[in-house]
């Protein structure tokens, strides 16, 4: 360990269980010498095992629903009181789509569900920053990170309305990041992470195929939750002070690939042209 976060104070949203990316970030932040408050939605306190993480890392928990300004204000006030001053780092690791949960197709959304998912997964990031900004709760050269996915830029049909939520999330990192940088010298970035087997990740239809495909496509293979935590720690540390307004891909190279030999071989092994395909191809070459 490198003591990268020695003396730093933070708030970590979204640790549900030991698979959660936020869980790994909390463990790594603790190892690197940080003190932090853990938070999650009140319902997640019952479903998950956050108290175990709190004991392990010597942290306190303040429940907060990220859709409630009042909860967030209490959280930020409470965290500053517990930690004895302003905050150096914040992790937003929150995502949930009701349409995905209920199996609604992207083209046939229930818009009340869409609104709820947007509120939880996307608008919450603006809300968190707005409360931190208004309360002047961040130290200079502090760092705010949210987690995103590449469906914000490219089509992944089963990612559903979360794709649109992530696009908004990344945009807010830039727009709010400008004001946070200009006025408070705080940086704001999103990390666009590989598919990862967590509760939120596994909820996406066809996740097993999704993750296996990304693994075969990426020259370095998929990034794990722990590797994502390592990257996040670097963004919280003083080694990345001038990195801001970025969406940073942490995906083993997936986002810059067209096709890999492994994917191509798999495709050709299972590809048997039909009689119609052969006729169609020969017509095309006749025309040339
Ligand atoms: P997770 O299911 O462990 O974490 C999601 C968290 O959001 C949970 O702790 C949940 O309690 C919290 N949450 C839901 N509603 C909330 C609310 N109203 N207020 C406060 N918290 C609330 O799953 P994971 O994968 O660790 O997700 C963390 C982030 O990483 C999410 O933003 C997700 O979209 C993102 N991500 C995940 C990937 C994956 O394949 N697992 C890939 C790329 C990004």
Domains and CATH numbers, the chain: 9-286 (3.40.50.720)
**Residues belonging to the active site:** 149, 159
Q: What is the pLDDT of residue 284?
A: 83
Atom of ligand 1 nearest to the CA of 17: 3
Interface ipTM: 0.99
Burial class (CB within 10 angstroms; exposed 0-12, middle 13-18, buried 19+) of 144: buried
Q: What is the pLDDT of residue 288?
A: 66
Strand order in the sheet with 87-92: 60-61, 35-39, 9-13, 87-92, 138-148, 187-193, 246-250
Q: What is the pLDDT of residue 282?
A: 82
Give the residue among 172, 176, 164, 218 at the shortest CA–CA distance from 193.
218
pLDDT per residue of the chain (288 residues) written in tens, 0 to 9: 899 999 999 999 999 999 999 999 999 999 999 999 999 999 998 888 999 999 999 999 999 999 999 999 999 999 999 999 999 999 999 999 999 999 999 999 999 999 999 999 999 999 999 999 999 999 999 999 999 999 999 999 999 999 999 999 999 999 999 999 999 999 999 999 999 999 988 888 888 998 999 999 999 999 999 999 999 999 999 999 999 999 999 999 999 999 999 999 999 988 888 888 888 888 887 776
Contacts of residue 252, defined as CB under 8 A and 6 or more positions apart, other chains included, come to 194, 214, 218, 219, 220, 221, 222, 223
Q: What are the distances in angstroms from CA 93 to CA 12, 24, 204, 285?
A: 8, 11, 16, 52
C-alpha of residue 141 to centroid of ligand 1, in Å: 26
Structure tokens that stand for 80 in this block: 């500053």
Q: Do 56 and 115 contact (CB within 8 A), yes or no?
A: no
**Is 253 marked as binding a ligand?**
no
The model's pTM is: 0.96
**Is 21 marked as binding a ligand?**
yes
Q: What is the DSSP letter of 193?
A: E
**Is 258 marked as binding a ligand?**
no
Q: What is the pLDDT of residues 25-51, one digit of tens each?
A: 999 999 999 999 999 999 998 888 999
Atom of ligand 1 nearest to the CA of 119: 18
C-alpha of residue 87 to centroid of ligand 1, in Å: 22
The binding-site residues of ligand 1, defined as CB within 6 angstroms of any ligand atom, are: 13-14, 16, 20-22, 40-41, 44, 65-67, 93-96, 120, 147-149, 193, 195-196, 198-201
């Amino acid at each position: 360990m490198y003591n990268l976060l020695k003396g730093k104070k933070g708030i970590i949203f979204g640790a549900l269980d030991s698979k959660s990316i936020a869980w790994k970030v909390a463990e790594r932040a603790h190892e690197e010498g940080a003190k932090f408050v853990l938070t999650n939605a009140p319902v997640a306190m019952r479903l998950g095992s956050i108290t175990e993480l709190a004991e392990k890392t010597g942290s306190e928990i303040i429940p907060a629903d990220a859709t409630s300004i009042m909860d967030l204000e209490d959280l930020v006030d409470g965290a500053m009181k517990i930690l004895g001053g302003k905050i150096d780092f914040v992790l937003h690791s929150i995502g949930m789509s009701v349409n995905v949960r209920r199996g609604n197709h992207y083209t046939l959304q229930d818009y009340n569900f869409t609104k709820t998912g947007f509120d939880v997964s996307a608008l919450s990031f603006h809300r968190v920053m707005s409360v931190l900004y208004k309360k002047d709760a961040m130290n200079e050269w502090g760092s705010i990170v949210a987690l995103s996915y590449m469906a914000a830029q490219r089509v992944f049909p089963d990612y559903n309305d979360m794709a649109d939520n992530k696009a908004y999330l990344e945009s807010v990192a830039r727009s709010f990041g400008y004001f946070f940088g200009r006025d408070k010298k705080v940086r704001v970035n999103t990390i666009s992470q590989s598919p990862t087997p967590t509760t939120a990740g596994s909820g996406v239809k066809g996740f097993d195929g999704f993750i296996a495909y990304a693994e075969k496509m990426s020259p370095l293979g998929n990034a794990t939750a722990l590797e994502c935590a390592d990257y996040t720690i670097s963004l919280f540390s003083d080694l990345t002070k001038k990195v801001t307004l970025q969406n940073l891909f942490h995906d083993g190279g997936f986002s810059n690939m067209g096709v890999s030999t492994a994917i191509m071989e798999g495709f050709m092994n299972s590809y048997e042209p039909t009689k119609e395909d052969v006729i169609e191809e020969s017509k095309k070459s006749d025309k040339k």
